[in-house]
């Protein structure tokens, strides 16, 4: 039996995916992420994998590592790297509930990236049921913190990748359906302003507002955006009493660059903001960074294999370098052949309109199955 004949069924896959989507798992809720890891671990075990639970650290949930039985167990093979955390807080399911409408299936995290992860597990289940052993051993690693830059599991992913010949990342397909063979660099920064408190009613002029200073600094930061390096502020925390001039304010900045040189220059510009203005201290520190991943010969060879499989399935799989960042940044930057964004097609990731195209479930299952069977 070839991957073209595996009996993937859309309704069966939707029924299996639904519990994953209805188990909300925002990154910062470690217990919720661990509940999602439980579901994934069960489904992987039911597919015949040996399960290892890896404890979380730094306040994040744990990880699941699953290895499929294989005659060459322990030798370099294929690593599937995926994350089970989402950007959606608990309660988002009420605003974007599981539903299937007009060929689309909705729900928080369904596109990024529970859909692709579940498809991978279903592929492994169908291969096991068919008694098909892949040419290379397969390891699946699901981690809990990708949406905040993978601060607690980067080393885990990189070490596992070094043990393997290839890395597949079932992140959602690019907006045009293409796979990703390279990614831009991503850097995060923490910005703090320290002002002078005073009573906002009767001693306003004695204070120095950290919030006002931050507001001016945000405009300055976002104005640094160019075609090659972007800056955006996504989080702000400040204030407790409206009748107090704020003494501190915190913000988080995300920068994306197409090339490492552009990122390095962007980092210099951000760190140069450290100092004092109008009796307000500005403090900028660098957070987690994803390195530039540029496609190399090994990655492009994996892509060509995937493109050939897609051709057999009746569609043309294109490829591109993309922004957004993923754990593929790490493995690709290590020089390990990595193919990213081979997961489901959809739109609206990170929004209340997040959904997938239902017909992409079987399509991507066959694509991933083909990769498992053709990569040697």
Tell me the CB-side half-sphere exposure of residue 139, using CA atoms within 13 A: 25
Look at residue 283 and tell me whether its pLDDT is greater than 80. Answer: yes
Burial environment of residue 259 by CB neighbours within 10 A (0 to 12, 13 to 18, 19 or more): middle
Inter-CA distances, 80 with 33, 141, 170, 235, 342, Å: 19, 6, 8, 31, 11
Q: Would the pLDDT of 2 be above 90?
A: no
The arithmetic mean of pLDDT across residues 308-325, rounded, is 95
pLDDT of residue 276: 97
What average pLDDT is seen over the chain? 97
Answer for the pair 85, 144: CB distance below 8 angstroms, yes or no: yes
- Whole-angstrom Cα distance, residue 72 to residue 366? 24
Which distant-in-sequence residues (6+ apart) come within 8 Å of 99 by Cβ?
A: 105, 106, 107
What percentage of the chain carries pLDDT values higher than 70?
100
What pLDDT does residue 323 have? 87
Which tens digit of pLDDT belongs to each residue from 61-119?
Answer: 999 999 999 999 999 999 999 999 999 999 999 999 999 999 999 999 999 999 999 99
- Res. 59: pLDDT tops 80: yes
- The mean pLDDT value for 165-189 works out to 96
- Determine the average pLDDT of the residues in 214-232: 97
Residue 324 has pLDDT above 90, yes or no: no
**Mean pLDDT of the 185-211 span:** 97
Q: Is it the case that residue 19 has pLDDT exceeding 90?
A: yes
DSSP H or E run through 191: strand 185-194
Residue count of the chain, please give it: 376
Per-residue pLDDT at 124 exceeds 80: yes
What pLDDT sits at residue 3? 85
What pTM, to 2 d.p., does this model score?
A: 0.95
């Amino acid at each position: 039996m070839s991957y073209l004949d595996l009996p993937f069924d859309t309704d069966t896959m939707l029924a299996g995916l639904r519990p994953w989507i209805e188990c909300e798992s925002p990154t910062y809720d470690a217990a919720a992420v661990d509940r999602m890891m439980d579901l994934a671990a069960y489904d992987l075990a039911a597919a015949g994998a040996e399960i290892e639970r890896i404890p979380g650290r730094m306040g994040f949930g744990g990880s699941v590592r699953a290895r499929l039985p294989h005659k060459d167990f322990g030798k370099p093979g294929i690593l599937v790297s995926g994350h089970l955390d989402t950007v959606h807080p608990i309660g988002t399911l009420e605003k974007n509930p599981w539903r299937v409408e007009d060929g689309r299936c909705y729900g928080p995290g369904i596109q990024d990236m529970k859909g692709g992860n579940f498809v991978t597990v279903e592929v492994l289940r169908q291969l096991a049921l068919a008694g098909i052993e892949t040419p290379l051993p397969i390891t699946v690693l699901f981690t809990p913190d990708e949406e905040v830059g993978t601060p607690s599991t980067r080393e885990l992913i990189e070490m596992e990748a070094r043990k393997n010949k290839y890395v597949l990342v079932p992140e959602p397909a690019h907006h045009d359906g293409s796979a990703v063979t390279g990614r831009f660099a991503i850097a995060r920064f923490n910005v703090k302003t320290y002002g002078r408190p005073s009573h906002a009613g009767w001693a306003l002029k004695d204070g120095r507002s950290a919030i006002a200073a931050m507001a001016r600094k945000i405009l300055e930061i976002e104005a640094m955006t160019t075609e090659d390096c972007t800056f955006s502020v996504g989080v702000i925390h400040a204030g407790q009493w409206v009748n107090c001039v704020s003494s501190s304010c915190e913000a988080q900045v995300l920068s994306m660059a197409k090339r490492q040189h552009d990122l390095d220059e962007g980092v210099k510009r951000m760190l140069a903001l450290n100092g004092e203005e109008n009796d307000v201290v500005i403090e900028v520190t660098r957070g987690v960074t994803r390195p530039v991943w540029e496609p190399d010969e090994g990655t492009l060879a994996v892509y060509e294999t995937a493109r050939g499989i897609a051709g057999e399935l009746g569609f043309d799989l294109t490829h591109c370098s993309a922004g957004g960042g993923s754990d593929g940044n790490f493995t690709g930057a290590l020089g390990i052949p990595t193919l990213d964004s081979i997961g489901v097609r959809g739109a609206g990731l990170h929004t209340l309109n997040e959904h997938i195209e239902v017909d992409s479930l079987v399509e991507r299952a066959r694509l991933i199955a083909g990769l498992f069977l053709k990569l040697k």
